């Protein structure tokens, strides 16, 4: 009881310190936000709440990106209306969440996330033994909500009707200085939600900002708190990190902050191996490039690349014990994916894509008379791109990748010639078959005697 009382006193004192005496209000001439960059859904949500008599602002990352001159991908709105009142205001809306109740408001294909101002006093919020907030649906004022935001650059509120920006914690100044600073006591804020440590690395890498020394100081000491975060939340955060368009920089930042250990097996071991690191960084660089060009990215392909060397090591280990290649591969895939699911809640659909991409690699390595059938496989293109990565990283002979590149573009007659068995080469005819076993990866068919 005494410990809880002391914790509440400290938390309330921290909250008071985090409140500035007066928020700074910037006019349109001062902040320079182009209102035309706001989506129809964001404008419609704010307007609808204003007409219903509530306060409402575009908030967080959207305001940050607008101030930096970018165009936000999505928009969040904060209001003093309760989730039930927001839901009643918009016909096309739904309430979601238990830990934090919010409302999704739909405008055509766009979804705007609406949250109610949260209180700055968490003394009565249920927490686990490490201080992580388990549920937070106690509401407060705009100033309270600004204090509850994680970083100063995300604690900015834009009123599109008055065209003003409300800045409670010096976020605009930090944007100009390119500094990432947490609001309040860093250790307390990380204990409330350990995922904030991952968000620090993602924002610093994505924006190219320096991390404030006080914000960085407790991270290594508190990194183990991430093991208490639900696997589904870690998966969501890792997806944001890997699909940010700055995945290479994010992974490097994770390593700099010592947050990679235990999060993904490959980050513990593979990145310390030259061949593994080259393969992973090539995969992430390709992902960043595709996102930068506005192209889609397959999460299944991305996780297949991230965990490939883990699966490869397990496969070689099983084969060394005497297991046949094909069953050993499927067993290795299962072991790696199951182990990973204990920390990240990888969806079944993504896991299925990973298995198909991996299982096609030995078949692509062998080429031969079944090559034409492989072209019809629904995951062939992904498996082929994966093969190219393996060749680029030096794991696989480039001859195999070149063969498939030529085969894909070849005319039917040329494909038949390429698939025909050649004396002394892969796919050559054999007079007799002494044993029945699947060929191991890289095995060549023995020449006829």
Sign of CA dihedral 83, 84, 90, 95: positive
Distance CA 239, CA 299 (A): 8
- The secondary structure of 199-248 as a DSSP string is HHHHHHHHHTPEEPHHHHTTHHHHGGGGGGS-HHHHHHHHHHHHTSS-HH
Which architecture characterizes domain 299-419 according to CATH? Orthogonal Bundle (1.10)
Q: Positive or negative CA dihedral for 81, 133, 210, 239?
A: negative
| SS3 category, 95 | strand
What whole-number distance in Å separates Cα of residue 196 and Cα of residue 135?
Answer: 16
- pLDDT value for 156: 96
The predicted structure's pLDDT at residue 33? 94
Higher pLDDT, residue 94 or 17: 94
Q: Of 182, 297, 299, which is closest to residue 238 (Cα–Cα)? A: 299
Task: Give the β-pairing of 76-79 and 93-96.
Answer: unpaired
1-177: which CATH topology? Beta Polymerase; domain 2 (3.30.460)
DSSP state of 1: -
Residues whose CB falls within 8 Å of the CB of residue 20, separated by 6 or more in sequence, listed in order: 168, 169, 170
385-440: per-residue pLDDT in tens?
Answer: 999 999 998 888 899 999 999 999 999 899 999 988 766 555 444 444 455 555 44
* pTM score over 0.85: no
Query: First and final CA of the chain: distance in angstroms?
Result: 84
Q: Other C-beta atoms within 10 Å of 406: how many? A: 12
Task: Enumerate residues 6+ apart whose C-beta is below 8 A from 435.
Answer: none
Phi, psi of 208 (to 5 degrees): 75, 30
Please give the Cα distance from 403 to 310 (Å, whole number): 27
Average pLDDT over residues 335-361: 88
Residues with catalytic function? 74, 76, 150
Least confident of 134-143, 250-259, 349-358: 134-143
* Percent of the chain predicted with pLDDT > 70: 81
CA distance 212 to 180: 6
Give pLDDT, residue 420: 83
Tell me, what's the pLDDT at 238?
83
pLDDT in tens, 227-283: 888 888 888 888 888 888 998 888 888 877 766 555 554 555 556 666 677 888 899
Evaluate if residue 69 carries a pLDDT over 70: yes
Complete DSSP assignment for 292-338: HTT----HHHHHHHHHHHHHHHHHHHHHHTT--HHHHHHHHHHHHHH
How far apart CA 105 and CA 95 sit, in angstroms, is: 9
- How many C-beta atoms lie closer than 10 Å to residue 226's C-beta? 20
Q: How far apart are CA 169 and CA 329, in angstroms?
A: 54
CA distances to 32, 74, 167, 349, 382 from 290, in Å? 31, 19, 35, 21, 14
- pLDDT at position 51: 96
Residue of 347, 311, 353, 348 lying closest to 332 (CA atoms): 311
- What letter does residue 35 receive in the DSSP assignment? G
Domain range summary for the chain, segments of one domain joined by +:
1-177, 299-419
pLDDT higher than threshold 60 for residue 148: yes
Calpha distance 312→308 (Å, rounded): 6
pLDDT average, residue stretch 357-383: 91
Name the strands in the sheet holding 156-159, side by side, starting at the edge strand that comes first in the sequence: 24-26, 164-167, 156-159, 56-59, 76-79, 110-116, 102-107, 93-96
| DSSP conformation letters of 359-391 | HHHHHHHH-GGGHHHHHTSTTHHHHHHHHHHHH
Task: Work out the mean pLDDT of the chain and round it to a whole number.
Answer: 83
How wide is the angle at C-alpha 405 spanned by C-alphas 399 and 408, nearest 5°? Answer: 140
pLDDT at 19 over 70: no
Contacts of residue 120, Cβ cutoff 8 Å, sequence gap at least 6: 15, 18, 19, 140, 143, 144, 145, 147, 148
């Amino acid at each position: 009881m005494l410990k809880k009382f002391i914790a509440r006193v400290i938390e309330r004192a921290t909250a008071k310190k985090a409140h500035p005496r007066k928020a700074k209000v910037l006019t349109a001439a001062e902040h320079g936000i182009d209102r035309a960059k706001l989506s129809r859904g964001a404008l419609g949500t704010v307007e609808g709440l204003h007409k219903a008599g509530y306060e409402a602002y575009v908030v967080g990352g959207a305001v940050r990106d607008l101030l930096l001159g970018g165009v936000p991908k999505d928009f969040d709105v904060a209001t003093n209306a309760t989730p039930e009142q927001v839901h009643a205001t918009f016909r096309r809306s739904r309430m979601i969440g238990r830990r934090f109740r919010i409302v999704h408001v739909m405008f055509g294909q766009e979804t705007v996330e609406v949250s109610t101002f949260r209180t700055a006093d968490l003394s009565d919020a249920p927490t686990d033994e490490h201080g992580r907030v388990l549920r937070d649906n106690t509401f407060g004022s705009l100033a309270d909500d600004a204090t509850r935001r994680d970083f100063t650059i995300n604690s900015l509120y834009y009123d599109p009707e008055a065209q003003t920006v409300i800045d409670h914690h010096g976020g605009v100044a930090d944007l100009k200085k390119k500094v990432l600073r947490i609001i309040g006591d860093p250790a307390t804020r990380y204990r409330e939600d350990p995922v904030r440590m991952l968000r620090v690395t993602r924002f610093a890498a994505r924006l190219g900002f320096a991390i404030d020394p006080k914000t960085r100081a407790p991270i290594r000491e508190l990194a183990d708190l991430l093991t208490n975060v639900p696997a589904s939340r870690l998966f969501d955060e890792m997806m944001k990190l890997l699909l940010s368009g700055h995945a290479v920089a994010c992974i490097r930042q994770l390593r700099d902050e010592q947050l990679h250990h235990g999060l993904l097996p490959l980050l513990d071991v593979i990145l310390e191996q030259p061949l593994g690191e080259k393969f992973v960084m090539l995969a992430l660089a390709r992902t960043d490039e595709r996102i930068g060009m506005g192209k889609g990215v397959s999460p299944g392909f991305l996780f297949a690349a991230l965990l490939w060397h883990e699966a490869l090591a397990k496969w070689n280990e099983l084969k060394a014990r005497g297991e046949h290649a094909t069953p050993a591969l499927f067993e290795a895939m299962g072991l790696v994916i199951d182990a990973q699911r204990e920390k990240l809640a990888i969806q079944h659909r993504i896991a299925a894509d990973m298995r198909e991409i991996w299982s096609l690699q030995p078949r692509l390595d062998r080429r031969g008379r079944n090559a034409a059938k492989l072209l019809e496989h629904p995951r062939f293109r992904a498996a082929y791109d994966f093969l190219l990565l393996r060749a680029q990283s030096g794991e696989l002979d480039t001859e195999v990748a070149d063969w498939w590149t030529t085969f894909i573009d070849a005319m039917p007659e040329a494909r038949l010639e390429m698939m025909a068995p050649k004396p002394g080469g892969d796919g050559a005819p054999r007079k007799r078959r002494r044993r029945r076993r699947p060929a191991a990866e890289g095995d060549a068919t023995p020449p006829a005697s």
